[in-house]
Structure 1
């Protein structure tokens, strides 16, 4: 069976197919003059991938391809994925024989990624300051190998940070007033513990009013930030926004794919908690797990900050810089919020 690059969304697999430089007709989508490979060329990869799933006996809503698409959009669409996998599941001796079988990740993955929820509970309610780092890293879970995706900050990159004005019609804050408060008054945040200030920035100026919860007619100062001159090291940022490829080579082993799956799922869970806006009635205890993971990344991975998506403004990303003295504030401008739009969702369960 010949398959073409257009049958997949996975960037790495598409590139692999094109790199083989074989032109022909695709047996899946019937496209002529397409870049194709024989399905047998990726049998080892598919077999290793399938070994990371198990039958979900308690659900009938997660058939194989739909489950894969939910997490990676690996195939062009569900129908295409079914056409590719259906005739070969028996050939690769997979435990899952039918594409209509509901699946979940195997127990190893479920436990490893699910430990994030266990850890959150322990940090909040049991042991806050002493945690078995060895168990999290090379001892058992291998989390120190899951955060390899990084971006760097270049001197030309611009970032933004906002503050609400506390006096009407007052001038904007001064440049040095746009940094985080000093350690003696720094309160706890999503990433930083009390007394350890981190610098929270956005890469899109339009994201700033959302992140500081600005309301109608509020006056705000927005500072523009850049890497300070003289910083003589590469500024490494752990990236929680990346959409990683699932295809890691035609001969990728179970262990390689298993690690990629764990990394993707764990980072998605942490990213969700990092992005989750705090409500006025939430407790600062909810900050503790994400504060821990930032400390873990700073101390054991050695990065200078993190990048994660804004849940309040989908066009922007948030950055947390662990040592704010590497940044400088170029200028500060004042804005007035002249429009606010609020949408509400009814909770039907509580309707009287």
Structure 2
């Protein structure tokens, strides 16, 4: 919205030069959106007695962490919001300057009906599905989850090309050997349980190479898979960037669910490390299996190993045909490191 206005200048908040800017003295097109978002919050003195301290925060922190709207210091966010929402500040300044909370996060009845995990946290769900009840969970509000998925699926048309890679020798594999392994050889993955076939594909060749963790001097067979009919795929990769300004859901609903949405998005994309247990995939297998139960053809999720790639877990490989296989030789690998201690 700001860039489409075409106004450039210097930012008084972050100091950036010659960038698209929003003039809080003259512009007002952001006010309505932010006012509506701030209506989700209640200042501390108006919250009910007993409202947990751990659910309190300040407005700047909320807009940075819960909503991912800014990447500047909290004090700068507060200054910015006060200038954009002047009238609201004049009416209720404590909302901007004192701790705030979301009233519905303390409303058990509201959470039971409207929250994906009811009154629980993602960690509670992970523990029970791993250690208590493997196939059923009272922690998940399937009605809410079903409605969510019905509004975030993508339709892929017949003829779409996706890719799958396998480490091979220099002769490569034939097309018939590039599909999902048979049930007896199917190991557990992020979207399938052991013994349940699932065709994992990517939307570009580089992503497939990263996903199979190819090593220096490996030969790799990469199959091009053509979609044989239109399919519907639930886009779980969009959960991490769920926007309050591009959704048909009430902002209060988004507010109580957004942390859960981010967790599901991160978990579904998280690669299994060598030291991890396959039990770590159980929560995302549950989510994926529910998507399959609803009649969708697969899920889409972001690759954490390739920044510009997306992966797909297709529930039935019969929807795709491997048209050709090309063999690649990995000449060298480039490692990137980050000091953690």
Instruction: Output the TM-score relative to the length of structure 1.
Output: 0.74
Q: Residues 288-299 of structure 1 correspond to what in structure 2 (within 5 A)?
A: 288-299=282-293
197-206 vs 81-90, which deviates more? 81-90
Q: How far apart, in 1, do the equivalents of 2:246 and 2:162 lie?
A: 33
Post-superposition Cα deviations, 1:175-195, rounded to whole Å, max 9, x if no partner, equal 111111011211111110011
**Cα 1:187–1:76 shift into 2, 3 Å:** closer
CA contact (8 A) 1:241 1:309 kept: yes
Post-superposition Cα deviations, 1:249-285, rounded to whole Å, max 9, x if no partner, equal 9xx9xx8212233454323211211111111121111
Report the counterpart of residue 23 of structure 1 in structure 2: none
Distance apart, 1:76 and its partner CA: 9.9
**Cα 1:132–1:37 shift into 2, 3 Å:** closer
Q: Residues 7-22 of structure 1 correspond to what in structure 2 (within 5 A)?
A: none
Q: How far apart, in 2, do the equivalents of 1:48 and 1:8 lie?
A: 26
Q: How far apart, in 2, do the equivalents of 1:152 and 1:240 lie?
A: 14
Instruction: Output the TM-score relative to the length of structure 2.
Output: 0.76
**Cα 1:199–1:111 shift into 2, 3 Å:** closer
Q: How far apart, in 1, do the equivalents of 2:30 and 2:275 lie?
A: 57
Matched, 1:158 2:161: yes
CA contact (8 A) 2:43 2:99 kept: no
Q: How far apart, in 2, do the equivalents of 1:261 and 1:27 lie?
A: 26
Distance apart, 1:202 and its partner CA: 0.6
Q: How far apart, in 2, do the equivalents of 1:163 and 1:87 lie?
A: 60
Distance apart, 1:45 and its partner CA: 2.4
Report the counterpart of residue 284 of structure 1 in structure 2: 278
Report the counterpart of residue 246 of structure 1 in structure 2: 244
Q: Please state whether the residue corresponding to 1:151 is helix, strand or coil.
A: strand
**Cα 1:238–1:104 shift into 2, 3 Å:** farther
Matched, 1:236 2:229: no
CA contact (8 A) 2:130 2:282 kept: yes
Report the counterpart of residue 190 of structure 1 in structure 2: 190
> Any gaps of 5 or more consecutive residues in structure 1?
10-25
**Cα 1:104–1:199 shift into 2, 3 Å:** farther
CA contact (8 A) 1:149 1:238 kept: yes
Post-superposition Cα deviations, 1:279-301, rounded to whole Å, max 9, x if no partner, equal 112111111111111011111x3
Report the counterpart of residue 36 of structure 2 in structure 1: 45
Report the counterpart of residue 223 of structure 1 in structure 2: 223
Q: How far apart, in 2, do the equivalents of 1:317 and 1:27 lie?
A: 33
Q: Please state whether the residue corresponding to 2:328 is helix, strand or coil.
A: strand
Q: How far apart, in 2, do the equivalents of 1:288 and 1:282 lie?
A: 12
Q: Which of 335, 349, 352 matches 2:328?
A: 335
**Cα 1:110–1:240 shift into 2, 3 Å:** closer
